[in-house]
Structure 1
Amino acid sequence: MTVNQLLSIKGNKIHSIVSTITVYDALKVMGEKNIGAVLVIEDNILKGVLSERDYARKIVLKNKASKDTYVYEIMETDVETVKPTDDLDYCMELITTKRVRHLPVLVDDLVVGIISIGDVVKAIMEIQKNTIEYLDSYIHGIKA
């Protein structure tokens, strides 16, 4: 399965913010949208990602105030991305080796979607379930 096929199933809704808002305001957006990370996009260009993990490690653990800190101060700027033509095995490899939970999907430097570790795991589990069902019916078909 490709990233494009996964996006066609889950949708390609993108939630984004700009880097000049406070972390507090970004967290409000994340809470309203029920998401664990938000893309930082300015002038249609991906600038970074802000995640709950960034908040926990760079605000809470350092005794900073989210209302006094701007997104650009703590966002991750070295963002791993994928293309719609990439397959899920490649995505899982990136997620595992780079220890990321969210992969923005880019076409010609424009964000067209985002997939999470949960999206990838769910899709792989569905593929495996279908394979098992197919093999089970094949085996039982031979015995009959």
Structure 2
Amino acid sequence: MVSDTRFGSGGFTLIELMLGISVAAVLLALAVPSFQNVTANNALRTASADLVTAINTARSQAVNLRKDVVLKQKNSDWSDGWEVEYDTSVSVEGTQEFTPSGNVTVNMSLSELTFRPSGMVSDEAEFTICDDRSGENGRRIRVKKFGVIENETIVCG
């Protein structure tokens, strides 16, 4: 005997569909804040690594080119980014720019830092890198007179 399957169970009922959507909504509500936290931590880590890279680049280029190389803020604020500025008559690289992503803020009291051909820096500097979350870990990057970098974790306010 052949049965008629046109009216058999071939799909989801409305209740099953609503239950599935409810479970998905709960899982999404738990996952989104965690994902935002991971994204913010990555932006903070990347900004710190970019700043250390810029400092190391400026110092090594000053020594290699035997000319002053300047690390300076963009748009009168370190949070807008920074650039390594070379003497264009000596270097083919030109200015290198770095821009932090996310809600990362970078603070330093000086507007620029000059690296001398000896590898020394014009003034000791201290950068603080945080984001808009309070009580989270940030970074403090110190540049000593001889160009030595200290990088440590701090708690942002």
TM-score range, shorter chain: under 0.3
Q: TM-score, with normalisation over the residues of structure 2?
A: 0.22
Q: RCO higher in 1 or 2 (8 Å CA, sep ≥ 6)? A: 1
Q: Structure 1 or 2: larger helix share?
A: 1
Q: TM-score, with normalisation over the residues of structure 1?
A: 0.24
Q: Structure 1 or 2: larger strand share?
A: 2
